[in-house]
Amino acid sequence: MKLKNLVSILSLFALALVTFTACQSEQNDELLEEEGKVSPEILAKLEAAYFDTSRAFTTNFMGEEGVAVEDMFFTYAQIDELQPIDPLAKHYRTTNLVSGLPRVITISVDPALGTLGSNALDATITMYNNLGLRISFSRVAFGQRGRNKANIEVTEFYELESGGFITLGRAAGFPTRKGDPAKGFGINSRWFELSIAPNVNELAGTMAHEIGHCIGLRHTDYQTRQSCGQNVNEGSAGVGAIYIPGTPTGSDTNSIMQSCGPAITFNNNDRIALETLY
Ligand SMILES: [Zn+2]
């Protein structure tokens, strides 16, 4: 849900638009290769952790320097923590989870995402809190500092589509070793300009997906990324890809944690996964 394959979902008219923008973004890609080029050493670490680095680039995200890969962002320190583990390890969670349960996680959204972003976050919070987990979410004001700063901040970024894909959201990693959720995620406001601009429920679904990463869920199709029209092994990152008992080991096309959607609500397996962890 973080990525959308534009070719598969756009009309012919829009396809022409994408072809045009793809040409445009080829130039951008060239620029990115110079300005945002990831060093071979870092690429090797990400690939050893079985991330798809085909569109990886260096960037500043939520105030920190690092690398965007798939719908994730990792600082260099986080990348150093990625260690290759058993690639055969089979609803998949990271090694670190949010601890200190029961726990209320505060969350805020950048006003730059407008009324749509605000309403979508409220809908996402309701989605999670209706599950009755030992973690729940409570909305607070955006832009607070210190102790009042939200545990998870929803920010805005703007990024053009590339190679027929648009990145809808980007999570700032997975839970920390201290047991805190990742500090937030971004929503690509470029999405709002396209013919596939989201309604409140679609945006809420993407937010729920990115929160899933922040609290330790990996993609349910991490082995193949087949929801993106790819067939690659995303593997089990050093952050872990630990099988969650009771969930399918194979394809689960209605899971909200597919790499490229289209689900916008939790399916039964998503609920089992979250109930098992939290
Ligand atoms: Zn994702």
257 CA from centroid of ligand 1 (Å): 6
DSSP secondary structure code for residue 95 in this structure: S
Would you state the pLDDT for residue 268? 94
132 CA from centroid of ligand 1 (Å): 23
The pLDDT tens digits of the residues spanning 52-83 come to: 888 899 999 999 999 999 999 999 999 988 75
Contact 189, 112 (CB under 8 A): yes
12 CA from centroid of ligand 1 (Å): 27
219 CA from centroid of ligand 1 (Å): 6
CA distances from 111 to 80, 121, 143 (A): 33, 11, 10
- Closest by CA position to 152, among listed 255, 218, 62, 276: 62
26 CA from centroid of ligand 1 (Å): 24
Domains and CATH numbers, the chain: 1-278 (3.40.390.10)
Would you state the pLDDT for residue 140? 98
Give the number of residues written for the chain: 278
Instruction: Name the stretches of the chain with pLDDT < 70.
Output: 1-3, 5-34, 83-91, 223, 230-240, 250-251
Tokens read off for 12: 């012919």
218 CA from centroid of ligand 1 (Å): 7
Predicted structure pTM score: 0.83
The pLDDT tens digits of the residues spanning 135-145 come to: 999 999 999 99
Measured between alpha carbons, how far is 248 from 15 in angstroms, rounded to an integer? 35
Would you state the pLDDT for residue 232? 58
145 CA from centroid of ligand 1 (Å): 27
262 CA from centroid of ligand 1 (Å): 12
60 CA from centroid of ligand 1 (Å): 19
CA geometry: angle at 162 spanning 206 and 63, to 5°?
60
256 CA from centroid of ligand 1 (Å): 9
72 CA from centroid of ligand 1 (Å): 7
236 CA from centroid of ligand 1 (Å): 14
